[in-house]
Amino acid sequence: MLSYYFRMAMHSLKRNKALTGLMVLAIAMGIGASMTTLTVLHVLSGDPLPGRSGSLYYPQIDPRDMADYGPNVEPPDQLSWIDGMYLLKAKRATRQALMTGGMVPLQPAQSSIYPFHAMALYTSADFFPMFEVPFQYGNAWGSAEDDSKARVVVISANLNDKLFGGQNSVGKTLRLQETAFRIIGVLGAWHPQPHFYQVYMGSYADEEDVFIPLSASRDQHMDHAGETDCWGNGGGDNNTLEHAPCVWLQFWVQLGTAQQAAAYKDFLVHYSQEQHAAGRFLRPPNVRLRNVMQWLDYQQVVPSDTRLQVWLALGFLMVCLVNTVGLMLSKFMRHAGELGVRRALGASQRALFGQLLMESGVVGLVGGAIGLLLALLGLWLVRQQPTDYAKLAHMDTRMLLATFGLAVCASLLAGLLPAWRACRIAPALQLKAN
Amino acid sequence: MSLHPMIAALRKHKAGVVLIALQIALTLAIVCNAIFIIYARIQNVQRPTGMEESNLFLITQQWVGAPSGDDPADLQKLDAMMREDLNVLRSMPDVVSVTPINTLPLFPSSWNGSAALKPGTDLRAGNARTTFYFGDEQLLKTLGLHLVAGRNFTAADVTHRGFRDATESSIIIVTKPLADKLFPQGDALGKAIYLNGGNTPSTIVGEVERLQVPSVASWASGFVWNSAISPVRMNINFSRYAVRTKPGRLDAVMRAVPSKLYAVDAMRVLDDDSVKSFKDIRADAYRADIGMAVLMGVICLILLAVTAAGIVGLTSFWVGQRHRQIGVRRALGARKIDILRYFQMENLMIAGGGALVGVALAVGLNRLLMSKFEMQSMPTFYVLVGLAVVVVLGQIAVFVPARRASNVPPVVATRSV
């Protein structure tokens, strides 16, 4: 039966090529624009660590003075050195790591390569097991290296390829800002996107090239990059950041269960109360404990232009659909006489309705296929843009299926009203009119 | 022409009429908001920075193993390295002038603070927010700024200090907008202001017409023209130099710069991005805005095309359906032009009705976007332009099927189908 409906639909569509083409094109453009922007939104708001992101949390506390104080003020996005070190040493979570980013001058041993800036992350030992960072060679440092301010470094696969031709470089020396660091590990492929753990160096930045113990980076006066927010009479001077009333560190903890998370939040409140009582915190306790996805949402890592484009494209799709409904209606009504004959010859309203819907379904499917090509073209155009997320704009299977789903649903929806109107035609009236 | 028969006819096609009107309404709402966004972006991009932007480029470099700049001896050494670089750059052929500088307008790095009339004034208490540029006596010449009052810095004015030194310089040049904000009577020259809530006065010795702040982000939109220039060489382990070349010699000088600087001292980082023409800095700063404007424009054009095609399609259907009636009217004495007018009038009514709904939708959409994105309220002008555009579009689109209708011969009336 379906194949008969299909043949009928094809026959009917072929009869009026211009109108059919117009409908297909309208659906295709609407779908193409929507899927391009939705795919970009989808990849940009993706989960960087699927399966684990729910148990990773970003604690925030409020150590600022009373200037700008008000109800419902969010605590600062980062931690000061004193609070960060206290929370790190308290070890109240399963794992915890303190970190900040920087650009470090790197002097390759080969004289053929001029010194260059390497993107660095200064962090503590738990960073690697907490985020399940894969290693190609060697391994991460432990808390002993953190404590002894050891000059050790973990490098990315990229940097290892660039400097050592992809060979095992563990044990070799890397000169960073005039100081020799020993390579103890080389990472495997690891590209969490968005760059959730450090959003201050670009939300969709590549991962860092060198990972250095935070203690060693402070010992070597390595500049920290990203945001430094100070209050009172604090200055963002790199050398006195340990004592300044400034927040500049990011802190992540791993908490297995909801109970653990609740307990950790209590711990943060308790700590704030203690500091408040001691006179160091002037504000009443104000803490947040967001998991990865909540943190990314709060930070609004997805550019607002991207969201605006999605709105625009969906509006565009809507106009295309209304357009298709109108054209479909005129097409069906034009053949009202023929439908009347079919009704008179015994076709049920239901059968007619099914046939007409099949026709709009075919339009949707073809429109979807062309729309998919347009979306692929659109994504290619997005990838040519010099934004840091451009390289992420690829279609995955889910979005591919969603494209066809959207196209067929949209055109069936568009066919619904015209088909309903057309199949309600009284057969006698039509025959009489003819 | 009486509208009554027309309305009676439209009543028979409620669904079609509603669909066209709805499509026109949606198109109007989207198109005038899009045009408003395009206009806002273009306006941002086109504002002049206040500099002579051609023949200008910026060098950013970092010394490897330079002193950290904590004690006076370190600062002297850093300053000597900087002056050596400046000498080499200034001695290059085709170079007009060079200044050390912390950043340039539209460059993604900025140093912001406040200027106040009283010492120790709190930063947030309604004082002028401003951005700071640090350079030497060649800064005005290199950037091509227009001095409208007072004098330029002399070589003797220029001091050097470390990055962490919070001392403010004793003399300063400000932009006219900043001077007027602080001294509305226009007597800023020679007056003392206090920078960043400090206690040492800085005397205004000159005013430049215009100099934009570096950031193009929305947080800086409140003080776009408030800039202050201090005669200071800032000593850090990295440095930036703005260079003005002779006309047409920009590329040649830019290519020659790295080897010249490496010859002075090879222990430095000069990346691919380190030598950058101002044209490229401008392009980078506004790339997203231009991309968005182009995208919006393309979507608008396609949208209008789709709507026009929809009108053509539906009207063609109506013309086909009313073939006989048109023939009857013609046989009863209606002229071709009457038939043409009939369809155009009909379209005007539908488009007008849709456009009225569209105006409401457009304003609603603008409110919605304002709540979700950083956007201004749309002036009525845009809605009126949108209204005119969709009505004219409707008239153009309906012309083809209406012409066909007017060509239906009267003899059709005598035929049965």
Domain span holding position A85: 53-299
Mean of the per-residue pLDDT values of chain A: 85
Longest dimension (CA), chain B: 108
Number of H helices, E strands in chain A: 14, 12
Sequence letter at residue A327: L
Within 13 Å of residue A188, how many CA atoms lie on the same side as its CB? 9
> Model confidence at A106, in pLDDT bands (50, 70, 90)?
confident
Contacts of A328 (CB under 8 A, 6+ apart): A23, A360, A363, A414, A415, A418, A419
Per-residue tens of pLDDT for chain B, all 417 residues: 567 777 777 777 778 888 889 999 999 999 999 999 898 889 889 999 999 999 999 999 988 877 766 678 888 888 999 999 999 999 999 999 999 999 999 998 888 888 888 887 655 555 688 899 999 999 999 999 999 999 999 999 999 987 667 778 899 999 999 999 889 888 889 999 988 777 889 999 999 999 999 988 877 888 899 999 999 998 888 899 999 999 999 999 999 999 999 998 888 888 778 899 999 999 988 988 888 888 889 888 989 998 998 888 888 888 888 888 888 888 888 888 998 998 899 899 999 999 999 999 999 999 998 888 877 888 888 898 889 989 999 999 999 899 988 888 888 877 754
Does the structure show a pLDDT above 90 at A397? no
Q: What is the pLDDT of residues A155-210, one digit of tens each?
A: 999 999 988 888 899 999 998 888 899 999 999 988 888 888 888 777 777 778 99
> Do residues A177 and A74 both lie within one domain?
yes
> Do residues A116 and A202 both lie within one domain?
yes
- The answer to whether B306 contacts A117, with C-beta atoms less than 8 Å apart, is no
Does the structure show a pLDDT above 90 at A419? no
Radius of gyration of chain B (CA): 32
Least-confidence region, from A105-114, A257-266, B140-149, B250-259: A105-114
Question: Six-digit token pair at B132?
Answer: 């700071």
Element containing residue A56 per DSSP (H, E): strand A56-60
Contacts of A113 (CB under 8 A, 6+ apart): A163
- The answer to whether B373 contacts A385, with C-beta atoms less than 8 Å apart, is no
Q: Give the mean model confidence (pLDDT) for residues A12-32.
A: 86
> Do residues A339 and A384 both lie within one domain?
yes
End-to-end CA distance of chain A: 29
Residue of B nearest to A226 (CA): B109
- The answer to whether A323 contacts B299, with C-beta atoms less than 8 Å apart, is no
Q: State the CB neighbour count (10 A cutoff) for residue A99.
A: 19
Residue of B nearest to A24 (CA): B306
- The answer to whether B15 contacts A304, with C-beta atoms less than 8 Å apart, is no
Contacts of A81 (CB under 8 A, 6+ apart): A241, A242, A243, A248, A249
Residue ending a domain, choose from A230, A265, A299:
A299
**pLDDT for the residue A396:** 82
> Model confidence at A233, in pLDDT bands (50, 70, 90)?
low
Query: Testing the interface with A: which of B62, B281, B321, B415 to mutate, by most A Cβ within 10 A?
Result: B62
Distance from CA of A119 to the nearest CA of B (A): 13
Preceding peptide of A194 cis, ω within 30°? yes
- The answer to whether A325 contacts B19, with C-beta atoms less than 8 Å apart, is yes
Return the axis-axis angle of helices A304-334 and B14-46, rounded to nearest 10°.
Answer: 150
- The runs of H, that is alpha helices, within A279-348 are 292-299, 304-334, 336-344
Number of domains in chain A: 2
> Do residues A272 and A166 both lie within one domain?
yes
Residues 216-235 of A with CB under 8 A from B: 221, 235
> Do residues A403 and A344 both lie within one domain?
yes
- The answer to whether B317 contacts A334, with C-beta atoms less than 8 Å apart, is yes
- The answer to whether A239 contacts B30, with C-beta atoms less than 8 Å apart, is no
Question: Six-digit token pair at A213?
Answer: 């113990």
Please name the member of A221, A235, A322 whose beta carbon is closest to the beta carbon of B166: A235
> Do residues A307 and A295 both lie within one domain?
no
Query: Testing the interface with A: which of B317, B318, B398, B415 to mutate, by most A Cβ within 10 A?
Result: B317
> Do residues A394 and A285 both lie within one domain?
no
* Rounded Cα gap, residues A141 and A151, in angstroms: 10
| A334 in contact with chain B, both atoms CB, cutoff 8 A | yes
**Contact present, B101 and B240 (Cβ < 8 Å):** yes
Q: Complex ipTM, two decimals?
A: 0.79
> Model confidence at A350, in pLDDT bands (50, 70, 90)?
confident
Angle, alpha carbons A191-A192-A193 (nearest 5°): 110
Query: Testing the interface with B: which of A24, A320, A322, A382 to mutate, by most B Cβ within 10 A?
Result: A322
Residues 388-417 of A with CB under 8 A from B: 417
- The answer to whether B288 contacts A387, with C-beta atoms less than 8 Å apart, is yes
> Do residues A333 and A242 both lie within one domain?
no
> Do residues A220 and A362 both lie within one domain?
no
Element containing residue A414 per DSSP (H, E): helix A397-423
Inter-chain CB pairs, A–B, below 8 Å: 122
Does the structure show a pLDDT above 70 at A430? no
Distance from CA of A258 to the nearest CA of B (A): 32
Angle, alpha carbons A267-A272-A278 (nearest 5°): 125
**pLDDT for the residue A270:** 92
SS3 assignment for chain B: CCCHHHHHHHHCCHHHHHHHHHHHHHHHHHHHHHHHHHHHHHHHHHCCCCCCCCCEEEEEEEECCCCCCCCHHHHHHHHHHHHHHHHHHHCCCCEEEEEECCCCCCCCCCCEEEEECCCCCCCCCCCEEEEEEEECCCHHHHHCCCEEEECCCCHHHCEEEECCCCCCCCEEEEEHHHHHHHCCCCCCCCCEEEECCCCCEEEEEEEECCCCCCCCCHHHHHHCCCEEEEEEEEECCEEEEEEEECCCCHHHHHHHHHHHHHHHCCCEECCCCCEEEHHHHHHHHHHHHHHHHHHHHHHHHHHHHHHHHHHHHHHHHHHHHCHHHHHHHHHCCCCHHHHHHHHHHHHHHHHHHHHHHHHHHHHHHHHHHHHHCCCCCCCHHHHHHHHHHHHHHHHHHHHHHHHHHHCCCHHHHHCCC
> Do residues A65 and A26 both lie within one domain?
no
* Rounded Cα gap, residues A255 and B58, in angstroms: 48
| A325 in contact with chain B, both atoms CB, cutoff 8 A | yes
| A384 in contact with chain B, both atoms CB, cutoff 8 A | no
Question: Six-digit token pair at A225?
Answer: 């990059």
End-to-end CA distance of chain B: 29
**pLDDT for the residue B250:** 94
Please name the member of B68, B295, B318 whose beta carbon is closest to the beta carbon of A309: B295
Closest to A94 (Cα-Cα) out of A200, A252, A280, A240: A252
> Do residues A200 and A169 both lie within one domain?
yes
Sequence letter at residue A321: L
Residue ending a domain, choose from A278, A299, A320:
A299
- The answer to whether A22 contacts B309, with C-beta atoms less than 8 Å apart, is yes
Residue ending a domain, choose from A269, A299, A329:
A299
- The answer to whether A117 contacts B62, with C-beta atoms less than 8 Å apart, is yes
Query: Testing the interface with A: which of B237, B267, B303, B322 to mutate, by most A Cβ within 10 A?
Result: B303
- The answer to whether A319 contacts B306, with C-beta atoms less than 8 Å apart, is yes
Residues 105-124 of A with CB under 8 A from B: 105, 107, 114-117
Distance from CA of B269 to the nearest CA of A (A): 5
Closest to B280 (Cα-Cα) out of B21, B110, B107: B107
Q: What is the pLDDT of residues A151-162, one digit of tens each?
A: 999 999 999 998
- Looking at the DSSP bridge assignments, the partners of residue B58 are B242, B276
Sequence letter at residue B31: V
Q: Which residues of A touch B372 (CB under 8 A)?
A: 307, 311
> Do residues A126 and A168 both lie within one domain?
yes
**pLDDT for the residue A112:** 72
- The answer to whether B16 contacts A326, with C-beta atoms less than 8 Å apart, is yes
Distance from CA of B369 to the nearest CA of A (A): 8
Query: Testing the interface with B: which of A323, A331, A434 to mutate, by most B Cβ within 10 A?
Result: A323
Distance from CA of A320 to the nearest CA of B (A): 7
**Contact present, A35 and A371 (Cβ < 8 Å):** yes
Please name the member of B22, B27, B34 whose beta carbon is closest to the beta carbon of A312: B34
| A69 in contact with chain B, both atoms CB, cutoff 8 A | no
Q: Which residues of A touch B68 (CB under 8 A)?
A: 221, 239
Residue of B nearest to A237 (CA): B164
Highest mean pLDDT out of A14-23, A121-130, A228-237, B313-322:
A121-130
Q: Give the mean model confidence (pLDDT) for residues A71-98.
A: 90
* Rounded Cα gap, residues A136 and A134, in angstroms: 7
